[in-house]
A and B are shown apart, each in its own frame.
Chain A
Amino acid sequence: MTAAAPPGRRRAAGRAVVVAAAVLLVAVVLTFLLLPIVALITYQPLGDLVDGLGSQVALDAIAVSLKVNAIAFAITLVAGTPFAYILARDQFPGRSAVITAVELPLVMPPAVAGLGLLAAFGRLGLLGSGLRATGIDLAFTQAAVVIAILFVAGPFYLRGAIAAFEAIDADVLEVAGTLGAGPVRRMTAVALPLARGGLGAAAGVSFARGMGEFGATILFAGSFQGVTQTLPLAVYSLFDANLDQAVAIGVLLVVISAGILFASKLILHSWTAWTSTSPTRAAPSISAPR
């Protein structure tokens, strides 16, 4: 033992260097990530921040954001959940092509998505003239904001929901069939409760992405206060006019995002307790695809 002291000491010193480097790395990364948020919050006294949020521009943007996101979120959940279930559980030709198509908007720059929506639904777009014939003009309306959010944020939910449904043990759904449960009851009574952790996480990500949507909205729906100007658009329009108010809205968006993040983590944590069907088997991950 004593003879090994010098190399041992050298090893201990080496370990200390590694630990110090690791701590430094973590500190640098954390500082980089959190500094802008701290800077936003401390930019102005709390009173000014509250005043900024009480301005008409901010109040209008809050109202627009809540309304369009609530609508888009509801549509995403109602249409997206069965869609994801079918994609996850049914085998049909072209299935993987459909899944790739669902993921395409995720990697598309939001501004390009906005251009695409204009080209499709705008006045001179592919469907624009047809829509106008029926008296519908989407561009620069609140409906356009909902469409932009659906297009950009919806796929985040779809992708997570497909993975959550794929992770369910096929046997459990088959057994439900032998007990007389048709496709609808299999989904609502078995698949939904089993996938709810993954669905909740996906819904959280999708909602947060929708609240922050900017590029597609400004190109497809414009930025009209009280109509299409959501919180991120208000930040942009106030950037020149009133930086204090812009920062106040920015802080609000940070708080909303952080709230969604913590809520979905809490939900995930409390909902994963019973996903293991057998004490001898490790709890399967409900969000990771198999």
Chain B
Amino acid sequence: MIWDNILIYFVVIPVLMLAGLAISKSMAQIRTICVIGASALLALAAYVTIAYLGERATGNTAAMLFTGSWMWFEPLNIHLALGVDGISVVMLILSSVIVFAGIFASWKIDPLPKEYFMWFCLLSTGVFGFFISIDMFTMFMFYEVALIPMYLLIGVWGSGNKNYSAMKLTLMLMGGSAFLMLGILGIYYHSSIDGNFTMNILEISQNNAIPQDWQMYLFPMTFVGFGVLGAMFPFHTWSPDGHASAPTAVSMLHAGVLMKLGGYGCFRIAIYLMPYAATELAWIFLILTGISVVYGAFSACVQTDLKYINAYSSVSHCGLVLFAILMLNTTAMTGAVMQMLSHGLMTALFFALIGMIYGRTHTRDIRQLGGLMQIMPFLSVCYVIAGLASLGLPGLSGFVAEMTIFVGSFEHTDMFHRVFTIVACCSIVITAVYILRVVGKILFGAVQDEHHRTLTDAQWHERLSTITLIVCVAAIGCFPSFFSEIIRNSFLTIIKVLPL
């Protein structure tokens, strides 16, 4: 029975929330539904993690756990196939935490709260569905489900040049998914030798039937398709505009989780299914992602809009994710997933704080802000913590992820990998430059605008949202082994199987 599978509830809960929101009448009801739903997701993610670890402890070494498969469309052999390994479990936790924090960050959304939260839930459905699927078609479907609400969320509730941004973001990501669709179809038609084509990732991987010359075409298509979402240079320009216009919680969810879909997909479909092409073509994408890392950081140095700074910072940090995945070894890939987790949390924190600051001062221009530490100490301290996490302070999550990536990348002894690793390492300095520039400018110093003196500090729901994220960031930073080992063990088994 489908309902026996625990994973399906990651999709069921948001759908139920959606239904509940559709019939809700008041703000109080909307909030109650959202909070209950988000908490349930959080609890479910925690439960799945514990159950996952329990299964592994009993010696279950299957590639995916909690698997289930239900025929959906017979002629094309499409299933609703579910299953998780360590990597997806971590992503599920990340998504549920950010959805939870995002709900509280958009506590007082105006106008049309009901519609806003409905789209928000639909977006969450897509995100969770993506991470639990192991069938390419359902994965793609959930991916699209996550993308479309973005258009409306930005277009309706956004700010600034929102129509342009929403259109740009949607078109660019759709362009990416066009490539992706082609790639997926290509994989499907080469998924087995005897004509029993399948969409199931595990089966494709086992069959290992994609001819090498086809891999060389299909790998770039899928990698670029997901890479667009992962803000890979030169397909990253949707990110600054999109983030700048998006409402707070949407930025949080987008940068925090949606961009991780890119990295996750790059691994799960492009590299996992086409290891030969991955080893052959990695260098091209290493160059592109290596550029992303440094380029994003340098661009962030001269931006004046807080959200632009963060968007470019995300380009840099997400570039590091893809960079590490392409290193194709356990340590670096573990680092990549840690970086997804870490970047997801801290960038969500950043966007939440920027949203809160913007909601008060009505400007995100750093030239018009200053001395906020005296006015809103709580938000400012949180901002400093987010900044320190971003520049990789030990004890917060960024450090662990970056160090794992660098140590892993350094395992390659050839000059090419070495040089690019060192180039990527340089980003830690540039990151410090732009983070401290912003912190120094907007939080410290004299109060820039006397009108700001009357502003208030964070309210309880804002505090709850930021504290949740900070606790997660600090917990990962202080006790990294918990997640790192889950991820590492998964990669150890995967890498053994893949002919990398």
A and B pair up: no
Residues in A lying within 8 Å of B, measured CB to CB: none
